[in-house]
Homo-oligomer: A and B are copies of this chain.
Amino acid sequence: MGENYNYPKHFVAVDCIIFGFDGENLKILLIKRNFEPNKGDWSLMGGFINEQESSDQAADRILNMLTGLENIYLEQLNTYTAVDRDPSARIMSISHYALINIQDSIQINEKYSAKWFDLKDHPDLIFDHNAMVKDAVLRLRRRATTRPIGFELLPEKFTMKDLQNLYEAIFDEKYDKRNFTSKINALDVLVNTNEKDMSSSKKGSFLYTFDEKKYNKKISEGFMFKI
């Protein structure tokens, strides 16, 4: 009976802001549309929500189609509902942001003509996708002050410099090396593997991993981490 409600129904899509990190810069993964409308333009990866799936499931499915990855870190952001946001039809879109380790995703499905762009230098996007990206960056920043971040974006082993570069890329600010290090150490979520990455200097720099237990504990406790 519910299906007979006399109310309008709407197309509802999800769009994904996919963040990655290459050790230096924050990146986003964009696709070149090979379909109408706006064929040839750059946009976020997205798709319609099916009858029997939630928006999270739809975002999972769509990310999997694009990257082949499972269990990507995903968070729902905002829902964009302006009537004319998409000129081809009235389509609402629920944005999600994803954090992926850029190394993992080498086999991006070629069908979508996807490409990583520097967050600070990406092409103009269709519809309201530029606004979606802006909003997602704000959320990513908020998340980075509320929780330790990096687990999802960095390779398993990383240097302190990598982590600092990540925070600097997220906040688009420079930090003092000593202060950053002691702040992170005070957080107590890293483990020094005692291995060294020799590629960046002659002395080499220690490789760390996240202590997943402590990391998740910090996340669930919910604290304020001001860098």
Contact = CB atoms under 8 A, between A and B. Distances in A.
Interface stretch (A51-59, A159-167, A188-196): A51-59
How many copies the complex holds: the figure is 2
A116 B87 CA distance: 42
Nearest to A82: B54
Interface string A55-91: 1100000000000000000001011011100111111
B83 A55 contact: no
Nearest to A87: B2
B76 A94 contact: no
A202 to B, nearest CB: 41
A50 interface: yes
B82 A79 contact: no
B2 A48 contact: no
Contacts of A82: 54
A2 B83 contact: no
A26 interface: no
Interface string A5-21: 10111111000000000
Interface of A: 1-3, 5, 7-12, 37, 48-56, 76, 78-79, 81-83, 86-92, 94, 224, 226
Given A5-B11, A8-B50, A56-B81, 7 more contacts: A2-B88, A5-B48, A5-B89, A9-B12, A10-B11, A54-B83, A55-B92
7 contacts: A2-B90, A9-B9, A10-B12, A53-B83, A54-B81, A54-B82, A79-B94
